[in-house]
């Protein structure tokens, strides 16, 4: 098992860890979001997260980085327990597919942003929905990979977290922790009555 690493790289990626706290403070007056809105957005993000995990499984199989994919998922799970470090996989990834990956990540952000724009009317609620969806999507992505190919084998597994504007490298615990804290921040502020104005829910 890999040793615990506190920091991701490059250094500025670690600033993402402050996002839940900053958001929690920014939304201190509450959010105009109903439980129904949050539930519908969570369903979309969870489904989208599994689609994302499936795409990664297919990419690994297509590039020869997923041993045993010709058989059953049980065959894959047995042979990917010692899967090479993600940074090493990144270096061996075909340049043509890397270009597609960059566009795919951009499209993912646009999809999440579109849901946020459609789900809420005010700017801060739109940001809250975006982060809510991103967090569910991110957690489900790792859960989907573990459910299918048993990777990551631990929260200390190294991963390429993102590619824009350059590869973000860190251990799996980092994005999952940030996403979980963001879910708490959005849920608490959405359930909190708004101060300084009349509280209402938009369905």
Average per-residue pLDDT for the chain: 87
Residue 164 has pLDDT above 70, yes or no: yes
Q: What is the mean pLDDT of residues 82-87?
A: 47
Q: What is the pLDDT of residue 201?
A: 47
CA angle 166, 169, 171 (to 5 degrees): 155
Residue 199 has pLDDT above 80, yes or no: no
- What confidence category does residue 72 fall into, taking pLDDT thresholds of 50, 70 and 90? confident
What predicted TM-score, i.e. pTM, was given to this entire model?
0.87
Q: What is the mean pLDDT of residues 170-185?
A: 97
Residue 49 has pLDDT above 50, yes or no: yes
Per-domain residue ranges of the chain: 50-191
Percent of the chain with pLDDT over 70: 83
Q: What is the pLDDT of residue 198?
A: 44
Q: What is the pLDDT of residues 134-146, one digit of tens each?
A: 999 999 999 999 9
Asked whether the beta carbons of 150 and 82 are under 8 A apart, the reply is no
Query: Measuring CA to CA, which residue among 159, 132, 186, 120 is closest to residue 5?
Result: 159
More confident residue, 203 or 58: 58
**Lowest pLDDT segment from 66-70, 149-153, 172-176:** 66-70
Helix axes 123-149, 19-26, angle to 10 degrees: 150
More confident residue, 53 or 79: 53
């Amino acid at each position: 098992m890999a040793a615990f690493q506190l920091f991701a790289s490059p250094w500025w990626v670690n600033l993402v860890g402050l996002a839940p706290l900053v958001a929690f403070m920014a939304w201190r007056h509450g959010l105009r979001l109903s439980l129904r809105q949050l539930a519908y957005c969570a369903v979309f993000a969870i489904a989208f997260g599994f689609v994302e995990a499936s795409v990664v499984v297919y990419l690994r199989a297509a590039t020869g980085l997923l041993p045993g994919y010709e058989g059953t998922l049980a065959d894959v799970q047995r042979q990917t327990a010692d899967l090479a470090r993600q940074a090493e996989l990144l270096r061996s990834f075909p340049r043509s597919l890397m270009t597609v990956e960059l566009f795919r990540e951009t499209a993912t952000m646009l999809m999440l942003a579109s849901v946020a724009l459609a789900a809420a009317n005010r700017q801060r609620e739109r940001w809250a929905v975006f982060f809510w969806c991103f967090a569910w999507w991110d957690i489900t992505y790792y859960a989907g990979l573990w459910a299918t190919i048993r990777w990551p084998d631990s929260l200390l597994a190294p991963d390429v977290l993102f590619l824009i504007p350059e590869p973000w490298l860190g251990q799996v615990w980092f994005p999952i922790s940030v996403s979980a804290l963001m879910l708490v921040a959005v849920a608490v502020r959405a359930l909190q009555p708004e101060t300084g104005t009349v509280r209402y829910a938009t369905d």
